[in-house]
Amino acid sequence: MVKRLNFEFYNNHALEVAPLLLGKILVRRFDDGKEIRLRITETEAYCGESDTACHAKAGRTNRTKPLYDKGGTVYVYLCYGIHNLINVVTGEKDDPQAVLIRGVEGFSGPGRLTRALSIDRSFNEDDFSTSHRIWIEDDGFVPKYKTTPRIGIDYATEPYKSAPWRFVLEGEAEK
DNA sequence: AAAGTGATCATG
DNA sequence: ATGATCACTTTG
């Protein structure tokens, strides 16, 4: 039984949604009707303005605006001038949390998976629960996973810097 | 180990 | 207008 994740799923706390997204299937549908499906293997949670690793730490800006939108909103931004990173906004509107999709089956690294799926900044502010070109499905797979601190956030301060908010599917390559 | 890359945000 | 800072990847 495959079902598309809906608003109700995304309307929860990032720390709850992040591990649940493991094992789910990221679907990218192209204009010609072709679809690519890849199982999500790695996620990270970013939790609000108090989380010094979260982009929303500096408050609402033009860039972070999608984080404040309702659960299920797509947040894509350019990192290091090269890579588009894709996040799933979670939680209530005006509560800036998101889950970064860091890896999918066959592609490890958040920049490589967006390149593989041709995801760019035009996807920003799309909606995972209604979009026709990007969504996530549940096929019943129950994830076994482990947690580690998040990657690439040396600029953050404790306790957020070492909070175990990275979620990796059991059996995936560890860094 | 280090560069490449460019939007974004805070300064002036 | 300029400069610092990056949720990374690749190359050596």
Distance A156 CA to C11 C1' (A): 28
What is the spatial distance between Cα A103 and Cα A165, in angstroms, rounded to a whole number? 15
Render each residue's pLDDT in chain A as its tens digit; 175 residues.
899 999 999 999 999 999 999 999 999 999 999 999 999 999 999 999 999 999 999 999 999 999 999 999 999 999 999 999 999 999 999 999 999 999 999 999 999 999 999 999 999 999 999 999 999 999 999 989 999 999 999 999 999 999 999 999 998 765 5
Strand C contacted by A22 CB (< 7 A):
no
**Angle (nearest 5°) at CA A133 between A48 and A85:** 40
For residue A150, give the nucleotide whose C1' atom is nearest its CA. C7
Domains present along chain A, CATH in parentheses: 3-169 (3.10.300.10)
Task: Indicate the DSSP class of residue A100.
Answer: E
Q: Are A75 and A87 in contact (CB under 8 A)?
A: yes
Say how far A150 CA is from C7 C1', in Å.
8
Residue A32 corresponds to which tokens in the numbers above? 């010609």
